[in-house]
Structure 1
């Protein structure tokens, strides 16, 4: 039964990611928005649903610090592992002019949360600041997209189908990720793998599976803007949206290791992605291998 659930999880991730990419692309064409903006918002925020669920549940249970580890670990995996794999499968080459603003917001979000974690607390006021950052990002992204994106021919397909495909894809992705994480954990325990290794690998990457499925399929379909926008948007939303919401629900008392250890890796990932994107004009296969090797080093060290 466990093997069947594992297989069903994989199938759900594939078809959910395929539906999400197709639907999001159709929405972008209809509203004359760039695929990058759709990737940053609808796709990026949507694939962060597992992280949001975990963080809000932790906050309501009086364990808001779990939200920090969830978000930081997800941001590291999103860049080093998921973009690394996606770039190896299909080079993610995007003009720098389409990346600089959004990478800048990601770096700003990273710096902001690091500063907030230095005193060991993320207060409700900090939560308000983070949510405000998310609003500024969204307004800037949509306003800029409307100016930069040329008009295109609208398809004959009804918009409700595109939205249904997008939302349905998100739901299937979340269900698939849950099935895969639960079944993989059971299989790991059956083979005698320790709880620590399970936590650092299966569970840590588990909430990022929707991003992995979506970015991989987008890369294979040559929708590179959605593939990259999905990850950058997810990382921005994880910090501004998820930690902002969690802090508003329950102020976060953070373990000192988050600021002294984990934030260093989050920053290395964010800065590394930005440097590679600007120097190489995107993420060619060699950059993908570099990101994956860095993630392997991170897992080995922790």
Structure 2
């Protein structure tokens, strides 16, 4: 539908979609934070179940559309292409959200987040392994790899929920404002006076706006790239991927403003762990094995996302307080590795 529109109209649609996604993200973060408290889920699990899945609604819609039209390469690229850049979004949270405070991984003191990062690595490895299986392995519109990825995600979420009460770990050296501090945000206080039904309805409305505006953002951004001659795997994995990560950026910065640091981390890790589950949806809708359609660039970006996640896992375990260039050491390493990774991608994507 957007192919026939002039460039100026596409840019206006893109900007409007950015504004809607940004505003919806603020409400998503605030209502999720309050639902975590009321349903006693905790920020890590609540962020993984509510925020991470909701901010990926545009990816769900585009994956479903690509699968129904049998554009399976688009479905694979949409799922794997954004994981690395979404991990780099944590660098932005570190720099912009905390600025001259200690590193973000120091404040996000939770081994549940380490488990979430481990789940990201697990589903990415299963995805890469699944790309090597023959495309004829389809039974009842399901392939073994996509089924195993989904089961792994479900078990991982269950273990993360279990770890909230049964994990034998001491929160030593956690900043007081994280353990006991009140989150003094005007919007937070306003939402606390809403009843639960009101909060859920606002959350669902913000999710709907995120879905519609997110799809408009991705489609208009892709068409703008085509019209100005910037299409290609490198553009898709950088500029376009960053644009489609706007829901996570908006919700993450809003979470940090609420001092809900675990929620910000969990939004990214939870979203990255959930994205490969969409391969099952794509396989069910298309009736074909989707993973064997993966290109070299898709596998490369999936591996890069895994490397960046591992760096943050180490940051969450060691929790370095020191900052360099207004960011934690782990964030700086993630940024350097991502830049080097994209330069490596250029060498074989030309």
Q: 1:63 aligns with which of 55, 58, 71?
A: 71
Equivalent pairs counted in the alignment come to 295
When structure 1 is superposed on structure 2, of 31-40 and 243-252 the one drifting more is 243-252
TM-score normalised according to structure 2 size: 0.74
State whether structure 2 residue 57 is matched by structure 1 residue 49.
yes
* CA distance in 2 between partners of 1:63 and 1:4 (Å): 27
State whether structure 2 residue 22 is matched by structure 1 residue 14.
yes
| 8 Å Cα contact 2:124/2:306 also seen in 1 | yes
For 2:160, the equivalent position in structure 1 comes to 141
Q: 1:86 aligns with which of 80, 90, 93?
A: 93
Query: Structure 1 residues 186, 110: closer, same or farther in 2, change over 3 A?
Result: closer
State whether structure 2 residue 289 is matched by structure 1 residue 251.
yes
For 2:117, the equivalent position in structure 1 comes to 103
Q: What displacement does 1:175 show?
A: 3.0
State whether structure 2 residue 74 is matched by structure 1 residue 31.
no
State whether structure 2 residue 129 is matched by structure 1 residue 115.
yes
TM-score normalised according to structure 1 size: 0.84
Query: Structure 1 residues 64, 33: closer, same or farther in 2, change over 3 A?
Result: same
* CA distance in 1 between partners of 2:157 and 2:144 (Å): 20
Which runs of no fewer than 5 residues in structure 2 stay unpaired?
1-8, 168-178, 180-191, 346-350
| 8 Å Cα contact 1:185/1:202 also seen in 2 | no
Q: What displacement does 1:189 show?
A: 6.0
Q: Partner of 1:13: helix, strand, or coil?
A: helix
Q: What displacement does 1:118 show?
A: 3.0
For 2:183, the equivalent position in structure 1 comes to none
Q: What displacement does 1:185 show?
A: 5.0
Q: What displacement does 1:78 show?
A: 0.9
| 8 Å Cα contact 1:131/1:245 also seen in 2 | no
| 8 Å Cα contact 1:277/1:283 also seen in 2 | no
When structure 1 is superposed on structure 2, of 14-23 and 253-262 the one drifting more is 253-262
For 1:220, the equivalent position in structure 2 comes to 257
Q: What displacement does 1:114 show?
A: 1.9
| 8 Å Cα contact 1:46/1:170 also seen in 2 | yes
Query: Structure 1 residues 128, 19: closer, same or farther in 2, change over 3 A?
Result: same
Query: Structure 1 residues 144, 278: closer, same or farther in 2, change over 3 A?
Result: closer
* CA distance in 1 between partners of 2:76 and 2:224 (Å): 27
State whether structure 2 residue 278 is matched by structure 1 residue 242.
yes
Cα-Cα RMSD: 2.9
Q: 2:313 aligns with which of 271, 274, 277?
A: 274
Which runs of no fewer than 5 residues in structure 1 stay unpaired?
none
| 8 Å Cα contact 1:8/1:179 also seen in 2 | no
Superposed CA offset, 1:150-196 (max 9, x none): 9xxxx553111111122222222233334444555565567x44223
Q: Partner of 1:114: helix, strand, or coil?
A: helix
Q: What displacement does 1:198 show?
A: 4.6
Q: What displacement does 1:125 show?
A: 2.1
Q: What displacement does 1:32 show?
A: 1.2
* CA distance in 1 between partners of 2:50 and 2:242 (Å): 21
Superposed CA offset, 1:216-275 (max 9, x none): 221233211111000111011111x21232233331232462576334313212222222
* CA distance in 1 between partners of 2:16 and 2:295 (Å): 39
State whether structure 2 residue 209 is matched by structure 1 residue 172.
yes
Q: What displacement does 1:25 show?
A: 1.0
